[in-house]
Amino acid sequence: MMKETMKLTPDMFQPAEIDDSAKNAIARPSIGFWKDVWRRFYRNVGAMVGLVLLSIILVLTFVGPSMGKTDYQAQNLSVQDQEPTFQNMISGDDYRFGTDNLGRDLWTRVWYGTKVSLMIALLAAILEIVFGVTIGVISGYFGGMVDNILQRVIEVLYGIPNLIVVILFLIIFDPGIVPIALALALTNWLPTARIVRAQVLKLKSQEYVLAARTLGSGHIRTMTKHLLPNIVSIVIIAVMFAIPSAIFYEAFLSFIGLGLRPPEASLGVIINDGAQNLQIFPHELLIPSVIIGIMMLSFNLIGDGLRDALDPRMRK
């Protein structure tokens, strides 16, 4: 038996009520760019681990030297080459990290040296970004002959070993915080310049840049007001990866005797001193080496997290 089909009539339907006030209502709260970056950075477990480790080290660089038994340069041969113990690390009644071959407090020297290494690395990274961003923006924005000349100069500098340039620079100038940072910056700005140039080449043909040039914006204003703000994420990521590289270079230079001179302390100087007693008192080398490893790991984890958070393609 065939089932009867229900016949639809107009009186079976009622028009829906339309709320004109809700037409432009936003379903979710507006989130700014940097707030969205922090939210995605916060969800990155590796980046947060790196941030916590780096925060602990930064606190200890300022608080640690005042918690030591003596000044970082004070010598006491009666307590030389003392080994650290777990009880001393917790209570602080004696030398937490032990002493070196001259009886100096390793706890004080390590954290003071960490602060010096971070100062050199931060200054070198800032100078590197300044050089790299300036050359990259000029090369990419003007193009043509200017771009060709600057790129040929960069290619020539790429062919010169960085270590040779740093050694020659430090031979001319006495090693110190500023000369070492400047030497590192002069040899490490080339990759930043090429990355920035590539971004500027892509951005300078955008409509807002063409509109600014049409309305009479000068070259300097166009570069500083319209191009630089749009490559700030690239600059931040470059800084986070430049700092650990500078820390490693500074430690290497101090280890081979081209960095700071004793009795000044940096992580490279302390590692150089500890290498002489590695087989007998390994703690003098292992402790500063572990600190360097933790710092480089922390900066790389934070850099990876920032790269993912600042990249729109990583949004889910």
For position 247, which CATH number holds?
1.10.3720.10
pLDDT score, position 59: 92
In the structure encoding, which two tokens stand for residue 106, read together? 């390793």
Q: What is the dihedral of CA 147, 148, 153, 158, to 10 degrees?
A: 90
On whether the CB atoms of residues 80 and 74 are closer than 8 A, the answer is no
Dist CA 252 CA 122 (whole Å) = 16
Asked, for residue 29, whether it belongs to a domain, the answer is: no
**Distance, first Cα to last Cα, the chain:** 54
Q: 128 burial class (0-12, 13-18, 19+ CB within 10 angstroms)?
A: buried
Dist CA 153 CA 158 (whole Å) = 9
Dist CA 157 CA 150 (whole Å) = 11
Asked, for residue 83, whether it belongs to a domain, the answer is: no
Asked, for residue 25, whether it belongs to a domain, the answer is: no
Asked, for residue 8, whether it belongs to a domain, the answer is: no
Asked, for residue 206, whether it belongs to a domain, the answer is: yes
Please list the residues that pair with 105 across neighbouring strands. Answer: 99
SS3 74: coil
Dist CA 241 CA 194 (whole Å) = 15
For the chain, give the mean pLDDT. Answer: 83
Could you tell me the residue range of the domain that residue 274 belongs to? 42-66+99-314
In the structure encoding, which two tokens stand for residue 276, read together? 């002489």
Phi and psi torsions of 99, nearest 5°: -130, 165
SS3 99: strand
On whether the CB atoms of residues 39 and 72 are closer than 8 A, the answer is no
pLDDT score, position 92: 59
Asked, for residue 119, whether it belongs to a domain, the answer is: yes
Cis peptide before 263, with omega less than 30 degrees from 0?
yes
Asked, for residue 20, whether it belongs to a domain, the answer is: no
Single-letter residue type at 50: G
Residues of the chain under the 50 pLDDT cut:
1
Nearest CA among 2, 7, 260 for reference residue 112? 260
DSSP state of 173: S
Question: For the chain, what is the domain count?
Answer: 1
On whether the CB atoms of residues 123 and 181 are closer than 8 A, the answer is yes
